[in-house]
Amino acid sequence: MEWEAVIGCEVHCELSTKTKVFCPCEVRFGAEPNTLVCPVCLGMPGTLPVLNEQALVYAMRAAHALHCTVATHTKFDRKNYFYPDLPKGYQISQYDLPLSKVGWIDIGPPDRRKRIGITRVHLEEDTGKLLHEGADGESFLDMNRCGTPLIEIVSDPDLRTPDETFDYLKELRTTLLALGISDCNMEEGSLRCEPNVSIRPKGQAAFGTKTEIKNLNSFKNVRDALVYELERQRKLIESGGKVVQETLLWDAARGVTATMRSKESAHDYRYFPEPDLPPLNLSQQFIHDVLWSLPELPAVKRERYQRELGLPYYDSDVLVQEPEVARYFEETMNAGAPAKEASNWVMGEVLREAKDRKVEVGALPVTPARLAALIALVLGGTISVQAGREVFREMAATGGDPATIVEKKGLVQISDESALQSAVERAIAAHPQAAADVRAGKEKAMGAIVGAVMKETKGRANPKLASDLVRRTLGVS
Amino acid sequence: MIRDEEVRHIAHLARLELSEPDLARAARELGSILDYVKKLEAVDTADVEPEIHAVSISNVYRKDEPRPSLPRDEALAPAPSHDDKYFRVPKVIE
């Protein structure tokens, strides 16, 4: 039988506000444990949460970017459950009147473009962080994260393959990054994904029983876990078993999903309106002001790079992944570099250098203006592409200006016939067999002679001119 | 009225251990509260707009400006178990 997967995703994204969502404690990853806490986020009795307006604006940005309808009437609710990372005994979340509903996002390259429905985007608070290191049956609890603003993005069950899910998460991340509302760092947990997955015979409309997978800290993990889980469900059903609705944990080391908590899998959160937070009546004006404040989104940028700059889809996709990279590319272009040249250098040297140094492209000593100057030197024939790469490395190491480096290192390309002629003659004299072969029409033999010219000039000879001179000197054209 | 089974379920959700006599008393008391609230059903609400919240104010915001947090020893002090950096809690994941 042919099976079809049905996948939906719940994504949690920490917002990069300065303070927590309901109290003025600072939000900062990596701070000393339990130093960013106060009576409100610790859940002390008698404290009063007050909504951070910036968190609301950020959440609304995400809602707009995902084409959701933002509610004019929305409120917070208590989701009641006991877990040690949430001492209040409830999470402040949104239930029946979420901030926004019913949107979409387009995912995937042109040959498998697909529109994925967004069920809702709502605002809630993050929990504390448990470290299971205690040997004595205790866990350590760090409450710095507790109360960090979090948006929950729920997709419709529109995804059909692990690859599509990967595309969905990639586009979602790129979009959230462009909005400037989160660093989307999966390793630090600021972007977390919990897919739910079921299978059904292809052509059947009804859904099968789904499982939810947690503990996925990279997009690759998500894809691997889904591949494994789909196969597990298929084998189970084909051997006469039944899928149990449950939450599974992905074990990346062993490459398997395992049951998380068997007891208490039936959730009964007893949601009710949060009495400590008054409801929100959002004006159309406010909602629209946030909409108009959105930056150009990656999907639009990608289209523009292809249509207006003539870049291939691949280039446009690489360049829009991180807003910093797109900005760097555009500034290089604005400084005079042709689009495709700027794209090649940014996708190649710039991204590689940033990756090697583990920094954002904006932090590289090479400014876009200097990259544009370097590109001009290459395009103008002053230096070869090869030398250009060497100059780039030097610029990245010292922050110098390309023209100065070219001069200092003596990299100016030799494009003067008279300056090359003697080197060409020496190369021919040193390679008599190759010279004879070229005369006999064996084009391949050119390599040895031109190579010798390049070697003698330390790579500075203009390669095209060198070839022309070799041919002319040998009397072939 | 409320069934014993439901009282037991709610007690479990609230992490309350009720003895049998306590359970019977809770069922009686919760039942009478529910009966009392049920009287509201007699009110004709056909022309009344639904309320989504019990308070009449709305849109209360705070600026995104950090204020000092608690000193760590003060934050940890009231906890039943802690060391000098962390709260200590019972291990949940086996």
Quick one: pLDDT at residue A473? 84
Of residues A42, A80, A138, nearest to B90 (C-beta): A138
Question: Are the C-beta atoms of A413 and A443 separated by less than 8 Å?
Answer: no
Tens digit of each residue's pLDDT (9 = 90 or more) over A237-283: 999 888 888 888 898 888 888 887 654 545 688 899 999 999 999 99
pLDDT band at B93 (very low <50, low <70, confident <90, very high): low
CA distance B49 to chain A (A): 14
List the single residue in B64, B90, B92 with the smallest CB-CB distance to A54. Answer: B64
CATH of domain B4-42: 1.10.20.60
The 10s digit of each residue's pLDDT in B48-72 is 888 777 778 889 999 999 999 999 9
pLDDT digit string (tens) for A434-458? 888 888 888 888 888 888 888 888 7
ipTM of the complex: 0.88
**Interface size between A and B, measured as CB pairs under 8 A:** 125
Choose among A114, A15, A122, A117: nearest CA to A66: A117
Tokens of A378: 């290459």
pLDDT computed for residue A263 by the predictor: 45
Q: Chain A interface, mutation test: which of B56, B81, B86, B94, most A Cβ atoms within 10 Å?
A: B86
Burial A23-43 (b: 16+ CB within 10 A, else e): bbbbbeeeeebbbbbbbbbbb
For the stretch A205-223, pLDDT in tens is: 999 999 999 888 888 999 9
- pLDDT reported for residue A400: 83
**pLDDT number for residue A135:** 67
Partners of A212 in beta bridges = A196, A247
Contact A18 B65 (CB under 8 A): yes
User: For all residues of chain B together, what is the average pLDDT?
Assistant: 89
- Taking the C-alpha atoms of residue A181 and residue A17, their distance in angstroms, rounded to an integer, is 8
Residue with the two structure tokens 């006469």: A240
User: How does pLDDT run across A301-347, given as a tens digit for each residue?
Assistant: 999 999 999 999 999 999 999 999 999 999 999 999 899 989 999 99
User: Which CATH topology does A417-474 take?
Assistant: Arc Repressor Mutant, subunit A (1.10.10)
**Where are chain A's structural domains?**
3-286, 296-408, 417-474
Cα A332 off chain centre by:
21
A34 neighbourhood in chain B, CB within 8 Å: 72, 75-76, 85-87
All residues of chain B having their beta carbon less than 8 Å from the beta carbon of residue A52 are 61-64
> Could you say which of B61, B89, B90 has the minimum Cβ distance to residue A51?
B61
How many Cβ atoms sit within 10 Å of the Cβ of residue A391?
27
Q: Decide if B13 touches A, using CB distance below 8 A.
A: yes
Report, as an integer, the average pLDDT of B21-32: 91
Whether B57 has its CB under 8 Å from any CB of chain A: the answer is: yes
Confidence of residue A188 (pLDDT cuts 50, 70, 90): confident
Average the pLDDT over A1-15 and give the result: 94
Contact across the interface for B85 and A34, Cβ inside 8 Å: yes
Q: Do A53 and B62 make contact, defined as CB atoms within 8 angstroms?
A: yes
Considering only alpha carbons, which residue of chain A is nearest residue B87? Answer: A141
On the CB side of A83, CA atoms within 13 Å amount to 19
